[in-house]
Amino acid sequence: MSAIVEIEQLEAKDLSPNELEEHLQKIWHRSFAHYASREQERLENLFIRRGRALKTEIYKDVSQRRRLYRTSLPPRAGNELLTLYPKLKEQLSVSGDYAIWTPEERFNYVQDIVSNLTSLSKFRLSDPSGNISWNEILCWWLDPNKAMKKPNLTQISKWHSYISQNFGYRFNWGLGSVIALAMDEAFRGELVESSLENWSQIGLPWIVFWMKELIVWGTLDPVAAYLLAKVEDVTTRKQAEELAQTYYHYISERESEPNEYLNAVNIKNWVEQSFSSVERHLPTPKPANQINVNLLKDFSKAPSKNWRVVPVEIGDEIQWFDLAGFPLAICQKPEKWQSDFLNTYDFMLDAENRFVSSKIYV
């Protein structure tokens, strides 16, 4: 499916079966299977036959193939999303006034989007352990002041892990697929890069652009999420949300439409104007040589006690994942921590002594 759609987009036309076969042969001849297979001719024929059948018998319509491709899902799951897409888009589109909503209205909106999108089998949320619902975990993560239930010390790592796997991964994946379909619809199939400049042409409110960041940073305020991501001196959600009020006062005097309050260009320009002088005089930061952590796994029977790990920021904390994607440890975000340390440093978990060490790339 991916090969056919990409060929059609590069050629800018609907290919005939013979033209498609010629392109599929070229792809096969550049594939690893072409060089590694002992049954080259038989497998090549199967590959080409399946490609021809997919185009001429199964998914005959070029727009259907393209939209399935845009979902980044297998066809069965992709068709489920295409069926639900009109309802999801309508639901996403009612949030133009998000910037002036109350925290309760904001949470209910995000919760409803999560509920509908994760009704699809591919993005379905797992059942949290204990006497707790995913709604309650999401409320604690996005609006802890209003949360009726909060984790105790033994539950907090499990709640963070649930948030990462279900909201940070499954829901955000699904949301990305929905946005890709909206872009495909807005630009009539033309492959256009997602950018700040063309977002307004998609037909979705700006809050949809920010929703992934809300989930990642654990806040209902897009400006606060941006401050946490971009400004080193902003280290807590409370601090970010208080600073965000300064932005809303500033932008309300310049824009009349609440949707434009959340225009990413406006927020970016304000942050650069407000914080650039502070950032310019800061020394070059570096992570601590050793970062104390709490282990999330039992390493007593592991043959090795040292693991290469990757940091994932979740609110005020960092989860440390091994290269296969399993969470191994968690800690509070160290002072002066920066997201781009990942691009400069290697991190190793010493499970025996319960710390992560950093070493600059050689």
Dihedral pair phi/psi, residue 295, rounded to 5°: -75, 145
Whether 350 shows a pLDDT value over 50: the answer reads yes
Residue 303 has pLDDT above 80, yes or no: no
Nearest to 178 by CA among 94, 107, 95, 87: 87
Is the pLDDT higher at 153 or at 219? 219
The answer on 119 and 55 residing in a single domain is: no
76 within domain boundaries: no
pLDDT at 280: 43
Do 239 and 298 sit in the same domain of this protein? no
* 72 domain-assigned: no
d(CA 118, CA 121): 7
Q: At what angle do helices 172-186 and 75-92 cross, to 10 degrees?
A: 80
Q: pLDDT averaged over the chain? A: 87
Say yes or no: 174 and 133 in one domain.
Answer: yes
196-204 contacts: CB < 8 A, separation 24 or more?
196/264, 196/265, 196/268, 199/264, 203/93, 204/89, 204/92, 204/93, 204/179
pLDDT for 33 equals: 67
CA distance linking residue 327 with residue 313, whole number of Å: 12
With beta carbons less than 8 A apart as the criterion, state whether 196 and 216 touch.
Answer: no
Q: What pLDDT is stored for residue 21 in this prediction?
A: 87
**Residue 49 placed within a domain:** yes
φ, ψ for residue 62 (rounded to 5)?
A: -65, -35
Q: How far apart (Å, rounded) are the C-alpha atoms in residues 77 and 191?
A: 22
Q: Where a domain ends, among 60, 84, 106?
A: 60
Q: Mean pLDDT check: name the lowest of 6-15, 108-117, 169-178, 289-298.
A: 6-15
Count of helix runs (H) and strand runs (E) in the chain: 15, 7
19 lies in the same domain as 109: no
Summarize the confidence of residues 26-37 as an average pLDDT.
Answer: 74
Whether 118 and 201 map to the same domain: the answer is yes
Q: pLDDT tens for residues 97-134?
A: 999 999 999 999 999 999 999 999 999 999 998 789 99
Stretch 6-30: mean pLDDT, rounded? Answer: 83
CA atoms within 13 A on the CB side of 43: 13
Q: How far, in Å, are 19, 72, 296, 305 from residue 24 at the CA level? A: 9, 20, 47, 47
Q: Which residues contact 82 (CB under 8 A, 6 or more apart)?
A: 67, 68, 71, 181
- pLDDT (0 to 100) of residue 278: 43
Local confidence band at 36 (pLDDT 50, 70, 90 cut-offs): low
336's CB contacts (< 8 A; 6+ apart) are 232, 285
Same domain, 139 and 22: no
pLDDT digits (tens, 9 = 90+) for 264-292: 999 999 999 888 754 444 455 778 888 99
Question: What is the token pair recorded at 347?
Answer: 């991190």
Give the model's pLDDT for residue 279.
44
For residue 6, the model assigns a pLDDT of 83
Picking from 60, 75, 104, the residue at the C-terminal end of a domain is: 60
Confidence grade of residue 162 (pLDDT, cut at 50, 70, 90): very high
Assess if residue 295 is contained within a domain: yes
Is 65 among the domain residues? no
Residue scoring higher pLDDT (62 or 228):
228
Residues 268 and 328 in one domain: no
The amino acid occupying position 232 is: E
pLDDT digits (tens, 9 = 90+) for 192-201: 776 777 888 8
- Read off the pLDDT band of 361 (50, 70, 90): low
**259 has pLDDT over 80:** yes
122/174 Cα distance (integer angstroms): 8
Residue 250: pLDDT band with limits 50, 70, 90: very high
Whether residue 216 is predicted with pLDDT greater than 70 in this model: the reply is yes
Range of the domain at 347: 290-360
User: What band does 35 get if pLDDT is binned at 50, 70 and 90?
Assistant: low
- The pLDDT of 313-324, averaged and rounded, is 87
Instruction: Give the C-alpha separation, 118 to 206, whole Å.
Output: 21
Percent pLDDT > 90 in the chain is: 45
Are residues 253 and 116 part of one domain? Answer: yes
> What is the rounded (10 degree) CA torsion for 199, 204, 112, 239?
40
Does 38 share its domain with 102?
A: no
CA distances from 290 to 139, 235, 325, 354, 357 (A): 33, 20, 22, 10, 5
On the question of pLDDT at 38 being above 70, the answer is: no
In a domain? residue 86: no
pLDDT value at 50 more than 70: yes
Judge whether 167 and 114 are in contact, CB under 8 Å: yes
High-pLDDT (> 70) share of the chain, %: 94
Neighbours of 157 (CB within 10 A): 18
Assess whether 215 and 233 both reside in one domain.
yes
- Kindly state the DSSP code that residue 122 receives in the 8-state scheme: G
The secondary structure of 198-250, three-state, reads CHHHCCCCHHHHHHHHHHHHCCCCHHHHHHHHHCCCCCCHHHHHHHHHHHHHH
How is residue 337 written in tokens? 């921590």
d(CA 3, CA 76): 18
Number of folded domains that form the chain: 3
